[in-house]
């Protein structure tokens, strides 16, 4: 079988939407839609994310790559299709500020990997807790850019605990990158250094859910 | 005969000339801590230029650093364009919903008049008051957002990246409007008494755009903009990486560069030596949990890596000390600068101290 993932990664890094689409089409002669997602899309996005962690790729490339992949995967696996992943209810939010880029990237990566998730946009602690309880969310991803917002995750965790919902909280964003102990301090279950890690984190957390 | 210590201005100018002053200069880039000194909430503190001037002067009296910082908060510029700013009790004021949401807005966009803008007038008042108090003894640092980075607050990060890569004509139009505003805003601060301008340009960092794109975007814009600013400029990447583009940054017309704790300070100093003064790179996020001994060790290490030969100013790596950083930590940093930063620097010992 041809390994298209490196070519696909290069197309994404060059923001070459047409080549990326062509490679997906070619791979479709050998692979199922879900195999394309797992072997090409997730692999390429993970490598680009890892490059960003090393300082070898830029945020703009991750963002644009995520957007391209999200569009391509929506064509391969339309929302709601039974081929998409069997998963617990999942949501993503930005806590307390209007810096939405990190959330947008993670949202794109997860949808590109075949997950469905609710996008709560920008919310405060009260709004977030209410939405999670109403939707009976089991995996909650919280993105922050500002330190004070990151510290408010602790309040979200504390407010969700008595609800009886076993909600796993995953955090990401600049404050957590610059202080590798912060995610523990706020009571999160996991922290993503980049969007590259998020699919692996979700898989691990899904294994631990009751 | 014991020499008189240099003034902060002499110390900073000497290091900017890549010579060793009496000790390593220290820029405490604290914006919100002045509110604590005055017993005010962050929102009340930033309501008045008088508050900020007084806050900055009290901070310097307490910590003994080498600048006054006229930076209020990042979104003050978009506030001047009519955007809303959200205040929180435990962090910097934040920009609310972006005000550019379609192409038509960019096409018809005009910059605010600096002189007629109430938020910007507060900053100019603060600078003028500080200048009255310190004269030429201490540098006063004014701040602008680069024309290339301001759109993140004007239209949101994702839509801005879409514009950058997909609509070059509208991108150019937005940058031109921003450039004229940036120059006017920088020169107004210099006229009010600022000594130098800190040009915040995080989007130019290789953390955000590929280093290969810097020459055609952030650098080209910086060269045009900085050449029109009538005073010295320091470029700051606000925690973003810069090592891969430092040679080009040196061609932008800037005199100094604010660098990230994500990169090796010794490597940065080697790349900048004789060309750019290095500003940084203490980790402000971690700083909130540093004990005094740890703070001293961080300062000692930074000075050992970057202090020799001048061309170095100790600072945090973001250009804004978090509200959660404690007074005792800042006092420990100041003490450590005086202990470990006095020239000639002590040679590194084999135990690392």
Burial class of residue B107 (count of CB atoms within 10 Å of its CB; 0-12, 13-18, 19+): exposed
CATH fold of the domain at A5-76: 1.10.1240
CB-CB neighbors (< 8 A) of B94 in chain A? 97-98, 146
Q: Each residue's pLDDT tens digit in chain B (353 positions)?
A: 567 899 999 999 999 999 999 999 999 999 999 999 999 999 999 999 999 999 999 999 999 999 999 999 999 999 999 999 999 999 999 988 899 998 899 999 999 999 999 999 999 999 999 999 999 999 999 999 999 999 999 999 999 999 999 999 999 999 999 999 999 999 999 999 999 999 999 999 999 999 999 999 999 999 999 999 999 999 999 999 999 999 999 999 999 999 999 999 999 999 999 999 999 999 999 999 999 999 999 999 999 999 999 999 999 999 999 999 999 999 999 999 999 999 999 876 444 45
Beta bridge partners of B277: B256
Which residue, among B164, B247, B251, B144, has the nearest Cα to B208 in the 3D structure? B164
Which residue reads 């979104």 in tokens? Answer: B75
Please list, in sequence order, all residues whose beta carbon lies within 8 angstroms of the beta carbon of residue B316, skipping any fewer than 6 positions away: B29, B280, B281, B282, B283, B284, B287
Q: What is the pLDDT of residue B120?
A: 98
B75, B89, B94, best to mutate vs chain A, most A CBs in 10 Å: B94
Q: Which residues of A touch B (CB under 8 A)?
A: 15, 52, 55, 57-61, 63-64, 67, 96-101, 104, 146-149, 151, 174-175, 178-179, 181-182
Q: What's the gap in Å between the CA of A101 and the closest CA on chain B?
A: 6
Q: What's the gap in Å between the CA of A57 and the closest CA on chain B?
A: 6
CATH fold of the domain at B8-340: TIM Barrel (3.20.20)
Q: What is the pLDDT of residue B18?
A: 98
Residues B342, B22 contacting (CB under 8 angstroms): yes
Q: What is the pLDDT of residue A146?
A: 92
Q: What is the pLDDT of residue B348?
A: 60
Which residue reads 């130098």 in tokens? Answer: B196
DSSP string, A102-163: HHHHHHHHHHHTT---EEEEEE-HHHHHHHHHHHT-SEEEEE-SSHHHHHTHHHHHHHHGGG
Does the interface predicted TM-score (ipTM) exceed 0.95?
no
Q: What is the pLDDT of residue A195?
A: 82
Q: What is the pLDDT of residue B1?
A: 58
Among the partner residues A57, A63, A175, nearest to B285 by beta-carbon distance = A175
Among the partner residues A55, A57, A101, nearest to B158 by beta-carbon distance = A101
Same fold: A5-76 with A90-208: no
Cβ separation of B158 and A104 shorter than 8 Å? yes
B4: left (phi over 0), alpha (psi -120 to 50) or beta: beta
- pLDDT lower than 50: segments of chain A: none
Cβ separation of B283 and A97 shorter than 8 Å? no
Residues B334, B8 contacting (CB under 8 angstroms): no
A57, A70, A98, best to mutate vs chain B, most B CBs in 10 Å: A98
CB-CB neighbors (< 8 A) of B83 in chain A? none
Q: Which residues of B touch A (CB under 8 A)?
A: 86, 88, 90-92, 94-98, 156-158, 161-162, 164-165, 206-211, 213, 239, 241, 243-244, 261-263, 283-286, 288-289, 322-324
A to B CB pairs, distance under 8 Å: 84
Q: What CA–CA distance (Å, rounded) separates B225 from B182?
A: 8
Residues A45, A69 contacting (CB under 8 angstroms): yes
| Shortest CA distance from B205: residue in chain A | A58
Cβ separation of A98 and B90 shorter than 8 Å? no
B285, B288, B316, B320, best to mutate vs chain A, most A CBs in 10 Å: B285
CATH number assigned to the domain covering A90-208 = 3.40.50.280
State whether residue B280 is helix, strand or coil: strand
Q: What is the pLDDT of residue B187?
A: 98
Which residue, among B4, B57, B73, has the nearest Cα to B238 in the 3D structure? B73
Alpha-carbon dihedral A74, A75, A81, A84, rounded to 10 degrees: -60
Domain boundaries, chain A: 5-76, 90-208
Q: In the predicted model, what is the mean pLDDT of chain A?
A: 90
């Amino acid at each position: 079988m041809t390994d298209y993932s490196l070519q696909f990664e290069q197309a994404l890094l060059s923001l070459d939407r047409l080549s990326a689409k062509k490679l997906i089409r070619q791979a479709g002669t050998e692979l199922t839609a879900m195999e394309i997602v797992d072997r090409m899309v997730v692999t390429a996005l993970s490598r680009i994310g890892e490059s960003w962690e090393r300082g070898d790729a830029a945020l703009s490339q991750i963002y644009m790559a995520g957007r391209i992949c999200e569009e391509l995967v929506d064509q391969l696996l339309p929302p709601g299709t039974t081929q998409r992943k069997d998963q617990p209810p999942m949501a993503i939010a930005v806590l307390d500020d209007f810096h939405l880029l990190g959330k947008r990237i993670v949202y794109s990566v997860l949808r590109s990997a075949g997950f469905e998730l609710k996008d709560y946009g920008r919310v405060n602690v009260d709004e977030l807790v209410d939405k999670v309880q109403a939707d009976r969310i089991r995996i909650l991803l919280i993105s922050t850019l500002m330190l004070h917002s990151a510290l408010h995750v602790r309040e979200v965790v504390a407010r969700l605990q008595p609800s009886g919902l076993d909600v796993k909280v995953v955090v990401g964003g600049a404050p957590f990158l610059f202080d590798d102990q912060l995610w523990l301090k706020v009571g999160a279950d996991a922290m993503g250094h980049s969007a590259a890690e998020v699919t692996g984190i979700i898989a691990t957390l899904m294994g631990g859910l009751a | 005969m014991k020499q008189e210590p240099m003034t902060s201005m002499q110390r900073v100018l000497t290091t900017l000339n890549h010579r060793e002053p009496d000790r390593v200069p220290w820029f405490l880039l604290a914006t919100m801590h002045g509110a604590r000194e005055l017993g005010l909430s962050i929102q009340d503190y930033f309501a008045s230029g008088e508050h900020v001037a007084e806050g900055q002067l009290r901070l310097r009296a307490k910590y003994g650093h080498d600048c006054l910082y006229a930076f209020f908060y990042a979104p003050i510029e978009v506030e001047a364009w009519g955007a809303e700013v959200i205040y929180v009790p435990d962090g910097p004021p934040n920009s609310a919903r972006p005000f550019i949401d379609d192409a038509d807005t960019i096409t018809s966009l005009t910059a605010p008049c600096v002189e007629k803008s109430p938020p910007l007038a507060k900053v100019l008042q603060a600078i003028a008051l500080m200048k009255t108090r310190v004269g030429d003894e201490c540098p006063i640092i004014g701040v602008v957002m680069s024309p290339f980075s301001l759109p993140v607050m004007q239209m949101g990060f994702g839509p801005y990246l879409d514009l950058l890569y997909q609509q070059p004509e509208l991108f150019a139009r937005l940058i031109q409007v921003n450039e004229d505003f940036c120059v006017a805003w920088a020169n107004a601060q210099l006229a009010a008494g600022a000594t130098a301008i800190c040009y915040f340009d995080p989007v130019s960092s290789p953390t955000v755009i590929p280093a290969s794109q810097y020459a055609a975007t952030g650098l080209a814009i910086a060269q045009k903009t900085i050449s029109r600013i009538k005073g010295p400029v320091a470029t700051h990447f606000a925690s973003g990486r810069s090592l891969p583009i430092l040679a080009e940054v040196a061609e932008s017309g800037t005199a100094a560069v604010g660098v990230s704790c994500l990169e090796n300070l010794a490597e940065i100093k080697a790349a900048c030596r004789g060309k750019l003064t290095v500003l940084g790179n203490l980790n402000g996020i971690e700083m909130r949990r540093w004990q005094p001994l740890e703070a001293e060790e961080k300062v000692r290490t930074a000075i050992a890596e970057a202090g020799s030969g001048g061309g170095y100013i100790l600072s945090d790596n973001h250009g804004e000390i978090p509200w959660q950083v404690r007074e005792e930590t800042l006092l420990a940093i100041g003490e450590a600068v005086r202990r470990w930063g006095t020239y000639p620097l002590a040679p590194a010992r084999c135990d690392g101290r």
